[in-house]
Every structure is written in C-alpha cells, then in structure tokens.
C-alpha cells in the first residue's frame, strides 16, 4: 500500500511539473526525450555568445551560413501567429478558435511539444493539394517579423541554409523566394489519402547529411547563426566551425526590416486577416465577431436605404468613414458622359466614387457575384466579357447615353501600395478621362480575396470595427491623341498610371491580374459564374476573333 501511494505521489508531481514548467525533472528519461540541457560544443567548434556573424566573413563565397530561422531571423520568437494564420485562412474560424482555446496548454509544454500540438490543430484534415497559405499568405507576415540585423547577416552570406522547427510547407516558399535559400531543413507534414494528418515527420537526417556532405565536399567554411543554445542539439551544428548565438537582450533591440530594404517588392498576398493574429488579438477578434456581424448588418441597411447626405454621418459614427481629398471635378451637364479611371482596392470602389460625386455612376466589371450585386447601393453593374471589341462597344454606349462610367483598368485588386499595369482600352473610349486615386484602411479584415469566396468581400468590409476610404480626384487627362491615332493607347495608360502613382505615393509595376492569380491561387483569375454567362463570353470572344481575322484578310 505504501509503495502504491509513493508511486501515485511521483506520478502526480511529475504531471504538475510537466504542466507548470513544460518539462520533467532532469533524469535519464528526460535526457532521452530531448529535454536535457544542450550538449557542450565539439572541441573543433567555437561558440560566440551575444554576437552576430561578421558580414566580412560571410561575404566569402567559400562560407556557408546555417541560420536558425525561428530564433535568429524572426524578431518576435512567437510562432503561434503563423499557425493561427494557417488555421484561420486554410481551415476556418472554428479551427482557429480551437487553437486559441488550446493556447494555455501550448504555453505549458516544451517548445517541441507545442510545435507538434499547433501543427496538429492547424493542419489536420486540410487537403494537401489545395494548401497555398505558405506561398500566398504567410510571406507577408514573415517579412514584417524579420529583423533588420538578422537579415543583413543572411543577405551577406554567399550560400544560405535555413533551419526551422516549423513545417517546411509553411516557410519554404518564403525562404527560397525572398531569402534565396539554397536549402531548407525542416520537417514535413504527413499526408494520407491526399489530406494532412496533422502529424509531423521526424527530422530527416538523410537530407541534413546531404547538406553536410555537400559543404564538406566543396570545402566550405560553415558558420551557424542562432538565437538559442538549443541549436547545438541539431545535427547540422556538427558541421559548423563557428556558431554565433545572440542573446534575448540583444534581440529585444533589433529593428524590423524597412519595406524599402525588402529583397523584392511585396506586391501580392492573400488572406482575410489584416492584423498579426497573436493570442490577444485573436481573442479580441472572436469577441468582436458577434457584435461586428450585427453592426455590419445595420451599416448595410443604412447604406441601402438612406440617401448619401444623411447616411455618411450616420455610418461615420459607427466607424465606417470616408474622406474626400481635393475637390470634386466639374461634371458634364449634357451630351456625352464622363469616364472615371480609378485604381482597384475593393469591389466597392465605385460606390465611394458615387458617394464622393453625390451622383449615381455606372460601374463596369469583369466578374461580380450575385450577392455583391444585390447589396450594391448604386444599382446593377455592367458586366464585361474580356473581349476587347465588345467591351469597348459596351462602355462607349454608356458614355454616349451621358452616364458617369467608373472603370478599374488594373483588372483586379491590389492591397499593397502598388499599381498594377493599366489596360489601355479606356484611353480609346473618350477624349478625356478623370483619374481617381483610391486608398483604403481597415483594422481587422481585408475586403478582397484571391483564393476564397469573393461574394463575402463586401460583408468582410462591413464587419470591420473601423475603416476609411479616401477618394482623390485628379486633373483631367487629355486622351484625344489616342483617338486621333497620334499616340499609342499603351503610352497613355502608362501616363495615367504614373500620375495616379505619384498622387497616392504608390509604386507602378507592369504586373497583371494573371500574375497575381497564378501566384496566389494557381489559376488565371477568370471567374465563371454559370454556364450561360460562360458560353456567352466564349461566343463573344470567338466572334471578336473571327471579325479580327476577316479584317486582317481584307487589309
């Protein structure tokens, strides 16, 4: 009986110690499970404490840098936001709520166990072939968490090998595309019947051995950069001659990497969350959602039923505001209408152009869901078919009727301060156009998506606690030289893009809608609503091509 009581007491004390401290008392069993203190360095190794690797040493092409991404490159050291992004963006709100509820347990266990637990909740049941968060969502948040000091050391290295404790599918796209890593050492997620099981494979020593053998064969000097002595337990540490370990005090002084120092512009990213989902912010989001849904419904009702003159102050009182920068342009009193060319931030850009003008406008769009069309306060949107001739005729008819036509020549939305290539069709339709600069600020959710359901875009905008639209009308641009065939339409489109970019402070790019969707969603970005509209679009395109061929033959 006494032995049973003693055994029960030991089991109870072990459980309490595990829950409160995340580890058992050091013993042979603890050493076997990897919870012991880090092993001492190899006699041939030199460990530099509280120091970063010197850039002059890394600049040598014979030097390979092994960087611990989790502790030496990222400033925060908190990996929950990245797993929360996977859970919310790829799995949904219920999965994110489950991960949030398990967060107290994550804080109690060891780092390795916490990683496995978060990966299990975030990945279990996701279809592997459709998982694109590692390429479309996470890179933005990784870049915003990168330390400038760590980035300088990594960029100075001639060759880079990145080590991470996160699943490789989460970080590999970011590390290879933005840091030009030659190798990424991390664990894979197990897949069964095309779905993630939520289990992480053990570290594959074969891949690590290949990296070690490659560096040894080329007689490279291998330098390691980490923020924790735990790196000494990693198999790759055995091939490192110098190991630089920065302290927590030094990391607390590190600065975030400025946007102008990014190795390449962060133009495209996907996902609904407009904030970094730490535990506190995620809890605030879930607390807000019930109230936000009711507030969004009330905002929508006011926008649909109350005139602009009265709805603007009412909506502003709820946090849904807009502002006009500059003055309204003079509107045509009769005859032909006016063409407004604006950059594309969300689906409701034409609504705020209409609010700023205090006049009804006609918006033209390539694709729009039925739900978005039903809740639009400016009436029915004119659909385009992506056939140049037929689309030009449709917009020309609207202008001839005297309508105020709003067109977004980018063809798709862009969240970051960049402008995509402008389609030159608008320059061929009118003798002058009015450029309109649009800027949007949201606090919780983005109102655009590339891989999700577009019909919910306006609803996500309405649910935000605070948001603000800024509308800026620029001086008219004379496009008559294009209609007189004195200037190419592409040059005029680039001119309007530059004027708009200068006014907004945005960078101009030659990227297109197709570039965006190939990167974020793996398709061409063409939304087909139903078979009837698809066949109509195909027929219009075929007719346009046939007409073009007959014209070329006649010429």
| Domains of the chain, earliest start first | 41-261 (3.40.50), 288-525 (no CATH)
Q: How many CB atoms lie within 10 A of CB 191?
A: 17
Give the distance from CA 543 to its chain's centroid.
38
Q: What is the pTM of this model?
A: 0.83
C-alpha–C-alpha distance, residues 154 and 226, integer Å:
11
Q: What is the pLDDT along the chain (555 residues), one digit of tens a residue?
A: 554 455 455 544 544 444 444 443 333 333 333 444 555 555 556 777 777 777 777 766 677 888 899 988 999 889 999 999 999 999 999 999 999 999 999 999 988 899 999 999 999 999 999 999 999 999 999 999 999 988 988 888 878 888 999 999 999 999 999 988 888 888 899 999 999 999 988 765 545 555 555 555 555 668 888 888 888 887 777 777 788 888 888 888 889 999 999 999 999 999 999 999 999 999 999 999 999 999 999 999 999 899 888 999 999 999 999 999 989 998 887 788 999 999 999 999 999 999 999 888 998 887 777 777 777 777 678 888 888 888 889 999 999 999 999 999 998 999 999 999 999 999 999 999 999 999 999 999 999 999 888 889 999 999 999 999 999 999 999 999 998 888 999 999 999 999 999 999 999 999 999 999 998 887 766 655 444 434 333 444 444 444 444 444 443
- 3-state helix/strand/coil string of 288-334: HHHHHHHHHHHHHHHHHHCCHHHHHHHHHHCCEEEEEECCCCCCCCC
Strand, helix or coil at 211?
Answer: helix
Q: How many CB atoms lie within 10 A of CB 485?
A: 9
Cα–Cα distances in Å, from 132 out to 78, 172, 404, 445? 22, 12, 39, 19
Question: Which DSSP category does 470 fall into?
Answer: E
**Interhelix angle 168-178/138-145, nearest 10 degrees:** 70
Cα–Cα distances in Å, from 255 out to 26, 42, 252? 37, 33, 8
Burial class (CB in 10 A: 0-12, 13-18, 19+), 481: middle
Whether the CB-CB separation of 254 and 148 falls below 8 Å is answered with: yes
C-alpha–C-alpha distance, residues 164 and 184, integer Å:
8
Strand, helix or coil at 445?
Answer: strand
């Amino acid at each position: 009986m006494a032995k049973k009581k003693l055994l029960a007491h030991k089991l109870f004390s072990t459980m309490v110690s595990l829950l409160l401290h995340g580890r058992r008392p050091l013993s042979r069993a603890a050493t076997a499970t990897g919870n012991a203190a880090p092993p001492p360095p190899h006699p041939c190794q030199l460990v530099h404490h509280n120091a970063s690797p010197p850039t002059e040493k890394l600049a040598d092409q014979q030097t390979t840098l092994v960087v611990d991404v989790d502790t030496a490159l990222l400033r925060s050291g908190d990996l929950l936001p990245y797993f929360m992004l996977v859970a919310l963006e790829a799995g949904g709100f219920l999965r994110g709520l489950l991960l949030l509820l398990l967060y107290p347990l994550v804080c109690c266990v060891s780092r390795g166990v916490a990683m496995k637990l978060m990966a299990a909740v975030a990945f279990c049941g996701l279809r592997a072939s459709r998982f694109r968060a590692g390429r479309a969502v996470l890179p933005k948040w990784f870049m915003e968490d990168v330390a400038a000091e760590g980035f300088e050391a990594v960029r100075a290295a001639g060759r880079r090998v990145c080590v991470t404790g996160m699943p490789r599918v989460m970080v590999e796209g970011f590390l290879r595309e933005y840091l030009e890593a030659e190798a990424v050492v991390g664990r894979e997620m197990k897949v069964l019947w095309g779905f993630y099981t939520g289990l992480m494979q053990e570290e594959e020593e074969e891949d690590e051995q290949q990296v070690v053998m490659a560096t040894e064969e080329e007689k490279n000097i291998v330098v390691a950069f980490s923020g924790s002595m735990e790196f000494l337990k990693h198999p790759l540490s055995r091939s490192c001659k110098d190991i630089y370990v920065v302290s927590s005090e030094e990391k607390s002084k590190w600065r975030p990497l400025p946007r102008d120092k990014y190795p390449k512009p962060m133009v495209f990213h996907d996902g609904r969350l407009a904030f970094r989902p730490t535990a506190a912010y995620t809890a605030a989001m879930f607390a807000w959602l019930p109230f936000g849904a009711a507030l969004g419904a009330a905002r929508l009702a006011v926008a649909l039923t109350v005139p602009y003159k009265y709805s603007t102050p009412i909506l502003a009182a709820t946090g849904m505001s807009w502002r006009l920068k500059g003055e309204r342009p003079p509107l045509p009193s009769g005859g032909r209408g006016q063409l407004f060319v604006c950059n594309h931030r969300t689906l409701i850009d034409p609504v705020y152009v209409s609010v700023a003008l205090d006049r009804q406008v006609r918006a033209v769009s390539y694709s729009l869901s039925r739900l978005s069309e039903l809740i639009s306060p400016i009436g029915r949107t004119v659909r385009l078919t992506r056939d140049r001739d037929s689309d030009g005729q449709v917009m020309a008819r609207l202008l001839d009727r005297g309508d105020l036509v709003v067109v977004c020549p980018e063809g798709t939305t862009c969240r970051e301060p960049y402008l995509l290539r402008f389609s030159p069709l608008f320059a061929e339709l009118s003798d002058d156009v009015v450029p309109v600069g649009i800027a949007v600020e949201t606090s919780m959710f983005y109102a655009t998506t590339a891989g999700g359901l577009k019909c919910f875009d306006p609803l996500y905008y309405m649910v935000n606690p605070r948001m603000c639209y800024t509308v800026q009308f620029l001086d008219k641009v004379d496009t008559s030289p294009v209609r007189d065939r004195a200037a190419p339409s592409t040059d005029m489109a680039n001119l309007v893009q530059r004027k708009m970019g200068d006014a907004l402070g945005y960078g101009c790019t030659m990227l297109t809608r197709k570039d965006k969707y190939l990167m974020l969603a793996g398709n061409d970005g063409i939304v087909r609503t139903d078979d009837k509209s698809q066949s109509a679009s195909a027929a219009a395109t075929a007719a346009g091509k046939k007409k073009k061929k007959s014209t070329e033959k006649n010429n």
